[in-house]
Amino acid sequence: MTDPAVTYSGYLKVDELLSLQQPRSQGPEHDEMLFIVIHQVYELWFKELLHEFDRVRRMLEDHESDSVHRAQHTLKRILTILKVMVAQLDILETMTPLEFLTFRQRLEAASGFQSDQFRQIEFLLGVKAEPSIRRFPEGSRARVALQQRYGEPTLWDAFLHYLSREGYDVPPPLLARDVVAAIEPSSHVQRILVEVYRRDTKNAELCERLVDLDEGVQEWRYRHVKMVERTIGAKPGTGGSAGAAYLRETIGRPLFPDLWEIRSQL
Ligand code: HEM
């Protein structure tokens, strides 16, 4: 017996996909569809980003000579996705505060705050917090994934190991650092990075892509806060935080502080 021919909708599971948008408001309220679709699109982008980040990290750990070029190529894709993710906030900003209020109370305590994939991305980038894991039920997909990422080296760790393999004198305690700890500035790493920027074009390019990434994540956070401010003002969030005031505290914190620190030393 031959397999049935592959079709567009069969391959992409279009019927299943289109059955996943289920508004909670009566009517339902017109704008709830946009709200659901855009969040689902973000979750798909988060999934794709994690897929690509894992590849970049593997490539930086790889000993093949051209792996840095492939890592850069993948980082370029990540940065392009990030730009699209920031731009997509424009769509949600077409929803006015009153339009959001037509269904907001139906969200109850649901909030992007509970996105495990967003936390996975943060973990991978070195922003790790154990309470984020405990929010999910034991044995759930989200908790298992977060637990796994919590113990894994961050992208910065992979980068430090890569620099060491490239012949730079990264201090052994930094190579063996606790991958759960926050990424702190290091004057030793800064001296290495200044050297890279002055004499090593290939790796300086890689550093610039990491700065793009850091700036891109901060840009998303900034745009999200502004969207929150214009949509709900100073009201608390559905996730139970102070809302925009909480989110404002998360902006402007660099992921890779050494890469910013050296700008004034060049
Ligand atoms: C009208 C649109 C939106 C509003 C009013 C809004 C509001 C908020 C608020 C107030 C918070 C703080 C946590 C809380 O208490 O709920 C938050 C967090 C968050 N939101 Fe949104 N949000 C919106 C759209 C989105 C979209 C489209 C995404 C995409 C996935 C998103 C992702 C997140 C994430 C990841 C957090 C956690 C940020 C962190 O802890 O650093 N939000 N949001």
**Phi, psi (rounded to 5 degrees) for 94:** -80, -5
The reply to whether ligand 1 has any atom less than 6 angstroms from the CB of 218 is: no
Nearest CA to ligand 1 atom 25: 112
pLDDT confidence of residue 1: 60
Q: Which atom of ligand 1 is nearest to the CA of 243?
A: 10
Nearest CA to ligand 1 atom 27: 39
Give the model confidence (pLDDT) of 159-195 as tens digits. 999 999 999 999 999 999 999 999 999 999 999 999 9
- What residues of the chain score a pLDDT lower than 70? 1
Q: Tell me the angle at which helices 155-165 and 201-232 cross, rounded to the nearest 10 degrees.
A: 170
Q: What is the distance in A from the centroid of ligand 1 to the CA of 115?
A: 9
pLDDT confidence of residue 62: 83
Q: Tell me the DSSP string of 29-75.
A: -TTHHHHHHHHHHHHHHHHHHHHHHHHHHHHHH---TTHHHHHHHHH
Name the pTM for this structure. Answer: 0.96
Nearest C-alpha neighbor of 168 from the set 186, 152, 184, 153? 186
pLDDT confidence of residue 180: 98
pLDDT confidence of residue 66: 81
